[in-house]
Structure 1
Amino acid sequence: MKEIPGREQEEALNRELKMKKKRGQDEVVIEVLNKVIEEMALSGISAEEGRKKDVAVLVGNQVNEVVNLSKKHIAYGERQAVVQAVLDEIFGFGPITPLLEDDTVSEVMVNGPDKVYVERKGKLTRTEVTFRDDQHCMHIIDKIIAPIGRRVDESSPMVDARLPDGSRVNIIIPPLALKGPTITIRKFAADPFTLEDLVSFGTLTMDMARFLKASVKGRINIIVSGGTGSGKTTFLNIMSSFIPEDERIVTIEDAAELQLQQDHVITLETRPANVEGKGKVAIRDLVVNSLRMRPDRIVVGEVRSAEALDMLQAMNTGHDGSLTTVHANTPRDSLSRLETMVMMSGMELPSRAIREQIASAVQLIVQVSRFSDGSRKVLKITEVLGMEGDTITLQDIFEFRQDGFDEMGRVRGKHVATGIVPGYIDKLKTHGEILPPSLFKLPPQVADLGFRR
């Protein structure tokens, strides 16, 4: 017990030394950055990727000059770190640039200037990356939003944006964010996951994948339901890849991140209001407009509000095979969320009428979840059967049966069929999708345990 205070003091001292060293580097970075920008303006060198080598030489020379004039002792490795920091400020997004370039990082979270977290394999860890101050954070935010015509200030302190590679960005600044500008970046995968990848990860089985592929091709209306960070958009992206090439697809999102591979795709993105508070285009507006664009399929990145009514009406009026996602923890919750969102549309509809609309529009719900070990799995694939009295009836086709954790803390369990054949199997046949009855059979070892519906 006596060793703990000493160890804590040592750790605190190390942190203080690191911070002091970084402050010294930051001073050099700021001085070099100002001189380089001035010299670039005088010499006509632009901040384009093709001129990076020229700028790197310029930065290197300026670093040596500043260090020599200050008579500070900075090792070669530290000088190179300063050069890279300056290049990241000019060509990238400042101190978070290396995190954005790291393929193992799936999400970057800036909680103010001195706390930067990343997600790797579903786990959150704090990094040693920091910004100089709030102003430095705001400078990087401006670099993110300026190219796409978005704005953020005290009168409009929240914004959704995207990076040039398609990564999704959410920004919220003071006075709403009390501890400084907050940036959340969901990285865009340069090499998108495939269905085979998800099967190898244990997200679902090949039988489940085969069933979902047939359901998409058979023009079944599907909702992907799950919590934040559960992998809804990734799953939606993979499922949309099963849509035939000869169909016209319209995608609608707040920040475009779906990566459909088909040729005939129209990508629509919402727009916030301008400085005068005018010009806002919401998802609902785009859903309504998409119906005039002769779509075969409508794919909405996520329904959050009144657009749910328009989406359901589209699914009920010939645009079958449409796909969307919704925030919910269970298939039943996702239907309740849809009902609440329809009520937000301002239409004075009785609850039963709304439920009938939902039951006739939605045919399948895929529930995804992120577990404590960071893994993401399909929890249930649930069919919507229709109405019984005032209640929408559901039946599970596949589900994940958890069996605790292994010695490494990883989730243990298996995906199983429930033994129930979906009611729309005949509709799949009319689209040429033939599934063997064995696909839906309850495994013998599960049946022996008395697992029945």
Structure 2
Amino acid sequence: MHLDNMEQIQKRVLEDMDLSEENDDARLKKKIEEKVWEYGKEHLISLEEEQRYVQEIFCSLRKLDILEELLQDDSVTEIMVNGYQKIFYEKAGRLYAWEKKFTGREKLEDVIQKMVAKNNRVVNEAMPIADARLEDGSRIHIVLEPTAIDGSCITIRKFPKEPMTMERLIELQTLSKEAAQFLEMLVKAGYNIFISGGTGSGKTTFLNALSGCIPSGERIITIEDSAELQLHGIENLIRLETRCANVKGMEEITIRDLIRAALRMRPDRIIVGECRGAEALDMLQAMNTGHDGSLSTGHANSCEDMLHRLETMVLMGMELPLTAIRGQIASGVDILVHVGRMRDGSRKLLNIMEVGAYTDGRIELSPLWEFQEKGEKGGKVIGEWKSREKLKNTRKLEWAGIGKSSSQPALRL
């Protein structure tokens, strides 16, 4: 009955709209209110129902339909649409099925086209997969039917309205205050840091927080598939985003293209949202050619696995001897940070490791910090972050004026 009422009112709104006029949000909402009030008098609808109809019809016509309610809920971190009838969302690390659904396939397709249109992207039968972002920076991934057999799919990774900081990560118990101070010093001193983790482990969130430690006077270039990093307080900032090829003849612009372009723009640091393939070679070359303090992320199950993944990704771009690749990694990457998602849904810093020299066919790794689990309390994983070995390569800290006399005990110099 609810859907029938909505469809009837929405039909009246559309019939009464003058398409030759510019209908801004305020004008449209007023028109909807009028039609809901008229319909409410005819069918004895309560005031509460009228208000709900106004909001839902407005979201249907101007926003992202039923998804808008989940998007406005700050406690929801991820939204998953599996066809027009099945919607799931993540809250506090747990997945829930939502009782609402789209009115049909056509409505879902309409919402998808609204999403990509705002990003100047195209998704259709010829190109059924697309990445986009919402105005607040939330990441969108779309796979259209029939590539998605049971109906078009949308995955929305939401991000906090306020930029993530190290202080906030400490509050969320993602890492300890001492480990955060240690990483902050390394970022300020210009250590090249690579963050690894699985899907949904919080790599981009952690990268955002680390980026907030960069001194404000530097020139930063960020490179992403869909721009989602939120860097504040940096005036000399350039944000670059990839582009897919389309039927109108626009050529693809890849992460590799953007890294090469960035190298000609006199950056102090380059931040690549995620390395997935051959662009790892360009990122390593940037790290090895004076762009100290560069940051990136990659999918891996551990710090050791990240090294192997980097080797594989470099080989995607160029056939090089493994000795040459490992030498590039050892001289380019200073620190590996591994983050993970725990069984209670929380995200935690699991390891900080120093990348050492390449000797005897292997890259040395030294554990600096490690999360040691102690058990569970109230359904939450508890533990502590333990400092392991001392940082060996202190050269950049000393160049930055942070030497052995530092008052920061977390550095253990």
Please state which band the TM-score falls in when normalised by the shorter chain: over 0.9
C-alpha distance in 2, partners of 1:201/1:238? 13
Q: How far is the alpha carbon of 1:90 from its aligned partner?
A: 2.3
Do the aligned partners of 2:193 and 2:296 also contact (CA within 8 Å) in 1? Answer: yes
| Counterpart residue number, 2:15 | 38
Q: Which AA in structure 2 matches 1:253?
A: E
Do the aligned partners of 2:139 and 2:228 also contact (CA within 8 Å) in 1? Answer: yes
Question: 1:58-207 alignment to 2 at 5 Å?
Answer: 58-66=31-39, 72=43, 74-207=45-178
Q: How far is the alpha carbon of 1:436 from its aligned partner?
A: 4.8
Structure index of larger Rg: 1
Encode CA deviations 1:294-332: one digit per residue, 9 max, x unaligned.
111000000001000000001001111100000111000
Question: 1:287-306 alignment to 2 at 5 Å?
Answer: 287-306=259-278
Q: How far is the alpha carbon of 1:358 from its aligned partner?
A: 0.7
| Counterpart residue number, 1:412 | 382
Task: State the identity as a percent.
Answer: 45
| Counterpart residue number, 2:325 | 354
The equivalent position to 2:346 in structure 1, one of 375, 382, 403, is 375
Bigger shift: 101-110 or 332-341?
101-110
Do the aligned partners of 2:182 and 2:411 also contact (CA within 8 Å) in 1? Answer: no
- Consecutive aligned runs of 4 or more in structure 1 exceeding 3 Å deviation: 64-69, 72-76, 434-438
Bigger shift: 393-402 or 146-155?
146-155
Do the aligned partners of 2:137 and 2:228 also contact (CA within 8 Å) in 1? Answer: yes
Q: How far is the alpha carbon of 1:355 from its aligned partner?
A: 0.9
Q: How far is the alpha carbon of 1:277 from its aligned partner?
A: 6.0
More helix by share: 1
Q: How far is the alpha carbon of 1:333 from its aligned partner?
A: 0.5
C-alpha distance in 2, partners of 1:331/1:316? 20
Q: How far is the alpha carbon of 1:242 from its aligned partner?
A: 1.4
Q: How far is the alpha carbon of 1:439 from its aligned partner?
A: 2.4
- TM-score when normalising by structure 2: 0.95
Q: How far is the alpha carbon of 1:43 from its aligned partner?
A: 7.9
Do the aligned partners of 1:421 and 1:437 also contact (CA within 8 Å) in 2? Answer: no
Do the aligned partners of 1:223 and 1:325 also contact (CA within 8 Å) in 2? Answer: yes
Encode CA deviations 1:121-170: one digit per residue, 9 max, x unaligned.
22211122211111111111111111221111111111000112221111
The equivalent position to 1:232 in structure 2, one of 182, 203, 214, is 203
Encode CA deviations 1:67-90: one digit per residue, 9 max, x unaligned.
666xx5544433332222111112
Question: 1:307-318 alignment to 2 at 5 Å?
Answer: 307-318=279-290
**Are 1:342 and 2:314 matched, yes or no?**
yes
C-alpha distance in 1, partners of 2:171/2:66? 34
Which SS does the other structure have where 1:319 is aligned?
coil
C-alpha distance in 1, partners of 2:231/2:247? 33
Q: How far is the alpha carbon of 1:60 from its aligned partner?
A: 2.6
Q: How far is the alpha carbon of 1:66 from its aligned partner?
A: 4.2
Q: Name the CA shift for 1:276/1:384 in 2 (closer, same or farther; >3 Å).
A: same
Which SS does the other structure have where 1:344 is aligned?
helix
Do the aligned partners of 2:165 and 2:208 also contact (CA within 8 Å) in 1? Answer: no
Do the aligned partners of 1:397 and 1:440 also contact (CA within 8 Å) in 2? Answer: no
Do the aligned partners of 2:277 and 2:313 also contact (CA within 8 Å) in 1? Answer: yes
Do the aligned partners of 1:96 and 1:129 also contact (CA within 8 Å) in 2? Answer: no
- TM-score when normalising by structure 1: 0.87
| Counterpart residue number, 2:337 | 366
Which SS does the other structure have where 1:59 is aligned?
helix
Bigger shift: 310-319 or 423-432?
423-432
C-alpha distance in 2, partners of 1:240/1:60? 45
Q: Which AA in structure 2 matches 1:288?
A: R
C-alpha distance in 2, partners of 1:156/1:277? 13
Which SS does the other structure have where 1:207 is aligned?
helix
Do the aligned partners of 2:336 and 2:354 also contact (CA within 8 Å) in 1? Answer: yes
Which SS does the other structure have where 1:106 is aligned?
strand
Give unmatched runs, 5+ long, in structure 2.
none
**Are 1:432 and 2:409 matched, yes or no?**
no
The equivalent position to 2:237 in structure 1, one of 246, 265, 273, is 265
Do the aligned partners of 2:165 and 2:212 also contact (CA within 8 Å) in 1? Answer: no
Do the aligned partners of 2:40 and 2:46 also contact (CA within 8 Å) in 1? Answer: no
**C-alpha RMSD over aligned residues:** 1.9
Bigger shift: 129-138 or 265-274?
129-138
Bigger shift: 145-154 or 358-367?
145-154
Do the aligned partners of 1:417 and 1:440 also contact (CA within 8 Å) in 2? Answer: no
Do the aligned partners of 1:304 and 1:326 also contact (CA within 8 Å) in 2? Answer: yes
Give unmatched runs, 5+ long, in structure 1.
1-23, 442-453
Q: How far is the alpha carbon of 1:61 from its aligned partner?
A: 2.6
Q: Which AA in structure 2 matches 1:392?
A: I
C-alpha distance in 2, partners of 1:341/1:216? 25
| Counterpart residue number, 1:9 | none
C-alpha distance in 2, partners of 1:254/1:426? 34
